[in-house]
Amino acid sequence: MDQFDQVILWLAVGTEAAAALVIGLAAVEATGYAIYSFFRHVLKMHPLSSDGRDPREVIRLKFGRWLALSLEFALAADILRTTVAPTWNEIGQLAAIIVLRTALNFFLQREIEQAETKAAERRAARAPASANGT
């Protein structure tokens, strides 16, 4: 294996580490927000977010965005790893991984966009009511 292949493999390992770090940090953030939100709910302190959404939905969608980013990193690592002397078996596995991760990312992104659209509709519905009340 020449030095260029070694560099690519190290880049792949680094990219996988970045994906794992993003997932880990996102899990810590989501857990912290979930605990905070739980106690706010238990203590009856503003159970809804500022735009009227359930805090669980906000946390889940924020976590989903981080997971989508980490999927991109993981896919990049797989692509890098396959560039070093790929076999047809590895290329087939990469194709399957690409299809699965792209499908996951597509559905996750669609759910995020739907939730953001609903939030924008709720804000728009409340805006005239608050404008008329002042």
pLDDT tens by residue, 45-97: 665 566 667 788 888 888 988 988 998 899 899 889 888 878 888 888 888 88
For the whole model, what pTM was predicted? 0.73
* Residue 32 confidence (pLDDT): 94
- Number of separate domains in the chain: 1
- For residues 26 and 56, which has the higher predicted lDDT (pLDDT)? 26
Across the chain, mean pLDDT equals 84
- The domain containing residue 41 runs over which residues? 3-133
Q: How confident is the model at residue 102 (pLDDT cuts 50, 70, 90)?
A: confident
| Residue 77: Cβ-neighbour burial (10 angstroms; 0-12, 13-18, 19+) | buried
